[in-house]
Amino acid sequence: MSPGGLTMGDKPGLVLLTGGTRGIGRALARAFLATGRAVAATWHADEIAAQGTREEFEPYGLSFSLTRCDAADPAAVRNWVSAVLQAQGPPDCAIHNAGSTLNARLAQTEEADWDAAMALHLGGAKNLVQACLRPMMKAGGQFIFLSSVVATTGNIGQPAYSAAKAAVVGFSRSVAREYGARRVRANVVLPGFHLTRLSEGLAPNALEAIRSRHLLAESTSLEEVAGFFLWLATTQTISGQIFNLDSRLPGYL
């Protein structure tokens, strides 16, 4: 029996996950595997994190797979999803978590950097949906996209990141409207602030300023975020929604 409690002959739900080797992504993979779900995840640039993830989840055997794939590359995503579908069948949940930050004010933002932010965050969401849509329309399923509180508030020094994350919200709601009649759901999660690779290097005073914006003076744990995803992935009648997982007061969308 695997650590997830599956025995031979069981057919677990399948979760596709872009960016599954660090921070939130790795916490999500860990949580889904622990409840018996199969996880097919991607990585792109960090070989050390990928190797560590493979070693951690090796006990789950074929319930976990990890593939190098650039979420911003439509062909790469299609190839990855096609291989997973052939081996494991259609997913019931597909999560776009892969991302990176671009910390530069608009006047210092190069065109290539702007385009890269859009390609990874918004384009990655589009690539995942297009690759999974046909099988999901047959069997039903849910897309979950990670956005950020800056999608609703904006942020000094992050115009490209904020714009890309806001675009993900509009995209998700369009998917929810277009394919709800085919039992395809789409939701957005704003996971809150966490000390991951994307936030490393922040000065102590910056960290304190972030915490001070929270009504509870603390941010949500990765375990609590993962627990919310576990719940959301089991729902059948929730779509087109935005879930903010910390105690900051976001702007309006």
CA angle 22, 146, 30 (to 5 degrees): 40
Length of the chain: 253
- List for the chain the helix, strand, coil content (%; round to 5): 50, 15, 35
Residue 161 known to be catalytic = yes
Spatial separation of the C-alpha atoms in residues 199 and 250, rounded to whole Å: 19
- Concatenated DSSP letters of 207-225: HHHHHHTSTTSSPPPHHHH
CB atoms within 10 A of CB 69: 22
**If you search the block for the tokens 């990655």, which residue do you land on?**
124
> Would you tell me how many other CB atoms lie within 10 Å of the CB of residue 195?
12
Residue with tokens 């291989």: 83
Cα gap 222→237, rounded to integer Å: 25
Which of the residues 60, 161, 179, 252 is marked catalytic?
A: 161
Rounded CA separation 40/81 (Å): 9
Distance, in Å, from the CA atom of 82 to the CA atom of 131, rounded to the nearest integer, reads 8
Measured CA to CA, the distance from residue 51 to residue 73 in angstroms comes to 22
Token duo for residue 24: 């939130």
Crossing angle for the helix pair 47-57 and 23-34, to the nearest 10 degrees? 10
Active site residues: 161
